[in-house]
């Protein structure tokens, strides 16, 4: 199975900040990397698919980049509604696997 490792596991930031979350795969997954946002008590929501494609309806302050084994999710100008947990997921091979999550908290 492909292991997905996110860093950091948690971070604190302020409204208006720019934050970057990293996801590393245990082997090359090309661009088969997706990002989700999950708020407490809610289901995950797709933000970015295929490493850098923004899902329709997702604010443009969210962006993704990377290929191979190293990927990043960047949020520009943090808004209050962005404080949540973020997960990466590889869709390169079965079984699909998720990172352990990055909790983004208000500083």
Partner 1 sequence: EVQLVESGGGLVQPGGSLRLSCAASGFTFSDYAMHWVRQAPGKGLEHVSAINNNGGSTYYANSVKGRFTISRDNSKNTLFLQMGSLRAEDMAVYYCASSRVRGVTPNWFDPWGQGTLVTVSS
Binding site for partner 1 (CB under 8 A): 32, 34, 36, 42-46, 49-50, 55, 87, 89-101
* Residue 72 beta carbon to partner 1: minimum distance, rounded to whole angstroms: 17
Please count the other Cβ atoms lying within 10 Å of the Cβ belonging to residue 75.
21
Q: Which C-beta is closer to partner 1: that of 19 or that of 37? A: 37
Q: Which C-beta is closer to partner 1: that of 62 or that of 87? A: 87
Mapping DSSP to helix (H, G, I), strand (E, B) and coil, where does residue 25 land?
A: strand
Cis peptide before 72 (omega within 30 of 0): no
Q: Which C-beta is closer to partner 1: that of 17 or that of 103? A: 103
Residues 6+ apart with CB under 8 A from 83: 104, 105, 106
Please count the other Cβ atoms lying within 10 Å of the Cβ belonging to residue 1.
10
* Residue 101 beta carbon to partner 1: minimum distance, rounded to whole angstroms: 5
* Residue 46 beta carbon to partner 1: minimum distance, rounded to whole angstroms: 4
């Amino acid at each position: 199975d492909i292991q997905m490792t996110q860093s950091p596991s948690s971070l604190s930031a302020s409204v208006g900040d720019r934050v970057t979350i990293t996801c590393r795969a245990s082997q090359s997954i090309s661009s088969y990397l997706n990002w989700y946002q999950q708020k407490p008590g809610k289901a995950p929501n797709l933000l970015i698919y295929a490493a850098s494609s923004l899902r329709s309806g997702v604010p443009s302050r969210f962006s993704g980049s990377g290929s191979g084994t190293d990927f990043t999710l960047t949020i520009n100008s943090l808004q209050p509604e962005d404080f949540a947990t973020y997960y990466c997921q590889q869709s390169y091979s079965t079984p699909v696997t998720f990172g352990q999550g990055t909790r983004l908290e208000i500083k």
